[in-house]
Structures are given as C-alpha cells and as structure tokens.
Structure 1
Amino acid sequence: METNLSLLQQDKWRIIDQSSLGPMFEALQSFAMDDTLCTSVGAGVSPATARSWVHHQTIVLGIQDTKLPFLEDGLAYLKKQGFRFIVRNSGGLAVVLDSGVLNLSLIFPDTEKGIDINRGYDAMWALIKEMFSDFNAEIEAREIEGSYCPGSYDLSINGKKFAGISQRRIRKGVAVQIYLCVSGSGQNRAKLIQEFYQVAKKDQETKFTYPTIHPEVMASLSELLHTELTIQDVMLRFLNVLKDRSGKLYGEPLSGQELEWYEVNYQRIVERNEKIKVDF
C-alpha cells in the first residue's frame, strides 16, 4: 500500500475543486481542463494537481460508441431520458455522470524514467482505499463483467462496481481519472446504458464487441457501505488524504499561459464533438 501511495507524496498539491459548479458546467470543459493541466504540469508551470468535478445528467461516450450502427436512435433515447452526451478525447466506453457521481483527476509530471501505467492506476486505487479505510470493506481492482465501461481497474466491493479508472498522457503530463458513484442507484445508471446499447446496436453484428450490461453488478458507495454519503463527504476524505501526503495543499485556478492552452484544448474537443451531428 505504501509503495502505491508514494506517488501521492508531493511537496505541493494544487487543488482545483469544480465539484459544485452546477448544471451549467459542461463535460467538454472538464476534458479540456485535464488536457491543459497535463500540459502545465508536464512543462513545470504547475506542480502536481488534483481536480474534482461533477457534471449533471451527462453521458460520456467513448470513440467506439460513435460507431454503433443505430447511434442516432441511441442518442435520441438518452435525450428523451433528460441526458446530454459528449464524446471524450480518451479511451473507454459510455459512462453515466450525474449529481451523485464524483470525478477525481490526479495530474502528475511524467519523469525521465516515466510513470509506469500500472503505477498510476495503483496510486488511484490506493488513494480510494485510504479514503474509505474506516469502513470494514475490501475494495478490489479487477474487471467486473456486465458493468458499463469495463476495465481491469474497475473498483468494486463484494463484486459490485462503484468506480472506474482511466489514464491520459500528453505533453509529459499524466492524468489519472476516476469516476466514483457516491450516491443514488448504481443499477439505475447501468439500466440507462443497457438500454442505450440495446437501442443503438439492436441485434446487428459489429466488429467491436460492446458490453452486455447486467445492472445488478453495479452499485453506489452509499449502497455498498450502507451509509448515506454526499459529494461533500467524499471531497473531505479526498482532501484529508492528500493533506497527509503533501507538504502544502493550496487552491489556484488556471492563469496566464494555462488560459491560452485551455482555449485551444476546448476548441479542439468542441470541434471533435461537432462531427456527431444528430437531428432530433
């Protein structure tokens, strides 16, 4: 555990908390933020940075999701359910973001030797275990079949997934990102993605194998720990762990050159998403 947590040991942790900006804060802005911070941290402009973010009623699609044979039908279904959708600039498949899902990003400088990809995943896993160490619950990292956006670093308790970890590496910066289903129904979120795939794929054969969703294998932390957790509760746990692992914790928004990088990154992801034109 200590080896995995060592990556969290930084002289300074810069904190950018965007967990309470509300429904007008769009996911496109988040992905541009993390790309900007990767550039800034990689260039030595910023120290290691931890960012928290929440987006309301948004489905984040992966590149492969845009190749579904009946994508327009699937997107129309999501819109009918009151959800927006974007395509992210990194790997993975569709995930649900709403007011009960907390996203965390840890952005590190990639050293000359490089941060091994598994070390980044392990550091995030160790962070989450430390955050909830006061509960008598074993948090495992392994693929949970039947979940949405399955991967080898799905985090689960008793076989039920509550989080997924991803990584993005650009310009000598490494962003390790996680979504944590804090409250609400994990099964209901999974049912939404299950229906999306059924509508967008139907029974057509595809080159890519899309997940067969089994909603019962997903849950929120509140459900799994039998405790009513809020985003604020989990944020406090997050900041306390980082505080214990750093010389200094401080908040600072984007400034100077970072704002210029952000505008370029934001336009890039907006243009990528404009290619997915759907008429309703």
Structure 2
Amino acid sequence: MTTRLPTYFISHGGGPWPYMDGPFRRRFDVLERTLAGIPAELPAPPRAVLVVTAHWEAPQFLLSAHPQPPMLYDYGGFPPHTYEVRYPAPGDPALAAQVAGLLRAGGLHAALDAERGFDHGSFTTLQPIYPQANVPVVQMSLQQELDPALHLHAGRLLAPLRDEGVLILASGLSFHNLRSFDARGAAASQAFDNWLREAVLQPDPSERAARLMRWAEAPAARQAHPREDHLLPLMVAAGAAGADGAVLHYHEDEFFGGLAVSGFRFGGG
C-alpha cells in the first residue's frame, strides 16, 4: 500500500464555527462530519500538515515558522469566548524552511514568517480533523496577484511532500460572495459549482489544470468569487495532485439557506 498522502481542497466554513453551539454551529454539521473523517481516509498518519490558507496574502509565498504559533482572530461579531479560543498545535520551522526551499528551487519567491499565527482558515479547519492539536502545522500564504497558473505551479513543486508524510490542506470556500451568502446566491453558486465539479473531476490532469486556469470564464464565476482569494488554494491542491484523479469529498446544496458548495480530495484511492 502506498503511503503517499492525498491533497484536499476544503471549504472551511464561516468564522469560529467549531467553537460555537446552537443554530450557527448546526449550519456546519455536514462539513464537520466530512472533516472529522479525514484521518481515517489517510494511508498513514501525517507527520505534519501544510495549510494553504485563503486568509493570508503576500507579495511572495510566505511560510509560517513560529514554533508555537499564536492565534489570529480574523473575524468579527462573534461571541466573546471565540476571541479567546486556542488551537495549540506546534509549528514546524524546519518544514517551513523545506517548503520555502522547494518553491525557490522551482523559480518562485518564498520566505519565512516567524511571527504569523493561526488564522481562522486554518484553525477552524483543523479543529474537527485533529481536535487534540497534536500534529505540527505550517501555514502557507497565497501570492497576492492571485494568478491561478502561479499557484498551480507552486502546488506541483510541493508534490514531493506527499511522500514525506506532509498532508496538504488547501483551505478556502468554493462560493465566496459575502453579499449573497444566503438564498440570493443560490443560482450563481449552483451554476459555478456545476462547472467546478466538472472541471476538477475530469480525468485528464492536464485538462483539469487548463480549465482551472480559465476559471474566470466559468458560468457565474464573478458572482461566486468577486475576488478569488478563497478559490486559489484549490490551485495549489490540484497542482500538488500531479496525475492523481479527484473525487468529490464534500458537497451541499443548502449551505446557508441554498448555496451549493463543494470540496475535493486528490489521490488517496
């Protein structure tokens, strides 16, 4: 059995939902079950997790290198206790340096950030997967120009990590128009999600990459993503997948009152 780990594009949900109770938390029941099932899908436990987060952009790719990352409460309007939660997973400065080295060797600009803490694109994703916070975590930023080809290339450069026990989690959201984050966005989200599933699940990896690079031509593309920060992590996961196929890992048609959202696993059987 291969121990090569799959890669994932995860729709990470809204705000600090894993740390809440009541109706808001219940909106994420399907997502929570899906995330909690990831460890059982892996051929071996990872030695570390690399989270490509939609909530961090920089002029070059940055890697978090704090050995005990602090927290970034990058949300507003939630209960006071959600600004005190901790996800105490250790960082992995050596892995951060390795990732930066792989990117530089492939001609990309990359550097370390020794101060960066866990943003909610990371800790809310990881809490249901590894609630014990016992797996080291490194975060990777997006490059702020949000060029899909650049991020696909970055993913390809990171593919060797999959054979070294590093789980690559691309954390974004397949529909991210906060002005239509309810039934008003239903038609646009369905149109874009139909296109996205066909593009990602198509069996030819070269054609998959070509379609993803042209994502802005998709039906309702800019209604789904007025700004593509939450879609670009997908490019890194798809690039790191290489020739591996994808499966629909998560899907809902009634997310937040009618939105179609999806997540994907690349490789892993």
TM-score with structure 2 setting the length: 0.30
Larger Rg: 1
Question: Which structure has the higher relative contact order (CA within 8 Å, separation 6+)?
Answer: 2
